[in-house]
Structure 1
Amino acid sequence: MHTGTPVAVLGLGLMGSALAGAFLRAGHQTTVWNRTTTKADDLVARGATLAESPAAAIAAAPLVVVCVSDYDAVTAILDGALDGRVVVNLTSGTPSRARALAEEVVRRGGSYLDGGVMAVPEAIGTADAVLAYSGPRPLYDAHESTLRGLGTGLHLGDDPGLAATHEMATLVLMWGMLDGFLNGAAIVGTAGVSATAYLSIARRAIDTVAGWLPDYARQADNGSYPADDGTIDTHLAAMAHVVEESESLGVNTELPRLVKALAERAANAGHGGSGYVALMEQFRKP
């Protein structure tokens, strides 16, 4: 029984297959397409319809979700008329490409929402999956109930590049945390401590830093950097200790040296007595 808006999903990698599966579970008539057709076998067995071409899939549904390798692949797939179709592009890319694609979709008679998936495929279809969208708010509102089948939706603004901008910023944040954890695990590993044993302290540290973020965000927005929890000069002394100890242990020093170099630039710019958020001025520079 199909009770929702018909949808088409183009691209059946791990994420695309998860998206199509979530639409099926939510009761939507789901048409799928993938260059390698065998990737659709499981979805077809569960009730999806396999289209012979991207154009056939697009013709089958008013809402078209695209999740492929890059924007070049998206452009190649959306190579025909899009009269009346709403394209929701969940392919990773840059904000400038998202804006250009939005203009192209509109030129071909369609409407466009860009999006970023902040979840692993296994979480798609649950409230734990967060999907960020950008593009015209009325367009998002019109299809929010359908998109809700994929997870928790966040509309970031009318600019179609905003979802990609947030994705870039979030990836930098994630990589910073992951690299920091792995670097820390390498340090404790020299003392015979496993990464698993280090995990309990690492989690507490991450939770502590997360608690600082609301105040740090206000400081970053206001351009005011009070040294409420220590100055950059104080941090620099600790950073030097990490570099020195890493050298003595034979552990890679590139990450702590980079962190120290950024703090040194802030201090040289007159922020040695400021709080840590003064490094924001370094990240804003080319």
Structure 2
Amino acid sequence: MESHSPSVAPPASDTPVRTPLALLGLGAMGSALARSWLAAGHPLTVWNRTPGRAEPLAAAGAAVADTAAEAVASAELVVVCLLDHASVGATLAGVDPTGKDLVDLTTGTPADARAGAAWAAEHGARFLAGGVLAVPPMIGVPGAGGRVLYSGSGELFAARRDTLAVPAATRYVGADPGFAALQDVALLSAMTSMFAGISHAFALIRKEDVDPREFASLLTGWLTAMAPAAHRAAAQLHSGDYSSGVTSTLAMQVAGAPTLLRTAAEQGVSTELLLPYLALMERRLADGHGDEGNTGLIDLLTARKG
């Protein structure tokens, strides 16, 4: 009688399975994304309108597609990182994304993202829009502080979260496809205003015997101390009570504004970065809100004219 040995399962591999993906667009950000996925062992197919940009990535192990359609056909997960919404439309024209997971990391407006989601739904694809809160050197570097906001299909985000988290930390901000772009631009707008304040501050000391490096330490410490004002404004917007917790009232701030302007004049510095905000404060004060802080200025910005 023939004897039979019990079957033995092969040893499990310690190597995790990496999701294949396709990437359209190899600018500075797209190339950084590509390098991070390749370094993590993900099979990657890349495409760029200018083929030469793909050569370093091919040397690192990426497959290079001749067309966007070929790249899209190569993987179920497709990431787009192009110049603008118009270039996304031009690139995907004639491409069949049926059954694909489409993630658009192109910087754009909420309306751009919603239009992209509508196009994807019409063509049988799941869609996520992403707002990248990082510069290329931060991509793929743990602890660098990079983050990508995502909105759109929650099912897609849940299914692909591990892969999307390779380049930078992720945060899902809602089913509305426009929310990632909206919050991304809101944060960039706050950053822009902060840079304006920093520029004015350095301009004031520029012609004096003040070491800008030492002043920078004071400046960053001061801005850090003031940052929690965002939480107070959020609480006031939520409650509707704009005077709650206020220590420096609008009346006090407007009274102190001439000192800012006179100092700028003495230092020969333009006030063009200050005047728009000071004008808003004066309008809100004139409307009888001197006991508030600055939160009411938001209502002035959002009030419809005419």
Mean Cα deviation higher: 146-155 or 121-130: 121-130
Are 1:113 and 2:131 counterparts? no
Matching of residues 147-158 of structure 1 within 5 Å: 147-158=164-175
Equivalent residue, structure 2, for 1:38? 52
Q: CA deviation at 1:40?
A: 1.1
Given the alignment of the two structures, is residue 267 of structure 1 paired with residue 282 of structure 2, yes or no? no
Aligned equivalents of 1:82, 1:285: Cα separation in 2: 41
For residues 242 and 193 of structure 1, what CA distance do their matches in structure 2 show? Answer: 19
- SS of 2:227's partner is helix
Match of 1:276 in 2: 294
* Partner secondary structure for residue 149 of structure 1: coil
C-alpha displacement of 1:17 = 0.2
Partner of 2:97: 82
The answer to whether 1:188 aligns with 2:205 is yes
Offset of residue 230 of structure 1: 1.4
CA distance in structure 2 between the partners assigned to 1:197 and 1:230 by the alignment? 27
2: CA distance, partners of 1:187 / 1:133: 40
- Who is 2:251 aligned against? 233
In the alignment, the residues of structure 2 paired with residue 212 and residue 99 of structure 1 have an alpha-carbon distance, to the nearest angstrom, of 32
Matched, 1:243 2:261: yes
Match among 168, 171, 189 for residue 185 of structure 2 = 168
The whole-number CA distance in structure 2 between the counterparts of 1:85 and 1:240 is 59
Secondary structure in 2 aligned to 1:254? coil
Cα shift at 1:182 = 1.0
Aligned length: 286
Q: Does 1:10 align with 2:27?
A: no
Output one character per residue of 1:197-254: Cα deviation in whole Å (capped at 9) or x when no partner.
Answer: 3211111111111133222210122221226311101111222211122123221111
CA deviation after TM superposition for structure 1 residue 194, in Å: 4.0
Equivalent AA in structure 2 for residue 201 of structure 1: L
Shift of residue 121, structure 1, vs aligned partner: 0.8
The residue matched to 2:274 in structure 1 has which SS? Answer: helix
SS at match of 2:181: helix
Corresponding residue of 1:64: 78
For residue 237 of structure 2, what is the amino acid of its counterpart?
A: A
Match for residue 24 of structure 1? 38
In structure 2, list runs of 5 or more residues that go unmatched: 1-14
- Between the aligned partners of 2:197 and 2:107, the Cα distance in structure 1 is 24
Post-superposition shift, 1:2?
8.5
Once the two structures are superposed, the pairs formed by residues 119-138 of structure 1 within 5 Å of their partners are 119-127=134-142, 128-138=145-155
Partner-residue secondary structure (3-state), 2:241:
coil
Using the size of structure 2 for normalisation, the TM-score is: 0.90
- Alignment partners' CA distance in 2, 1:194 and 1:93: 39
SS of equivalent to 1:276? coil
Moved more, 112-121 or 210-219: 210-219
Deviations 1:23-56 (A, max 9, x none): 1111110011111111111111110011101001
Identity within the alignment, %: 37
- Pairwise CA distance, 1:196: 2.2
Which residue type is aligned with residue 129 of structure 2? Answer: D
Unaligned runs of 5+ residues in structure 1 are: none
**Cα separation, 2, equivalents of 1:117 and 1:179:** 22
- Measure, in 2, the Cα distance between the counterparts of 1:23 and 1:56: 19
Q: Specify the code of the residue in structure 1 equivalent to 2:42.
A: H
Task: Give the counterpart of 2:240 among 223, 238, 243.
Answer: 223
What is residue 254 of structure 1 aligned with on the other side?
272
CA-atom RMSD in angstroms: 1.5
- Counterpart of 2:38, as a letter, is L
1:142 equivalent to 2:159? Answer yes
| Structure possessing the higher radius of gyration over alpha carbons | 2
Residue identity in the other structure for 1:22 = S
**AA partner of residue 111 (structure 2):** S
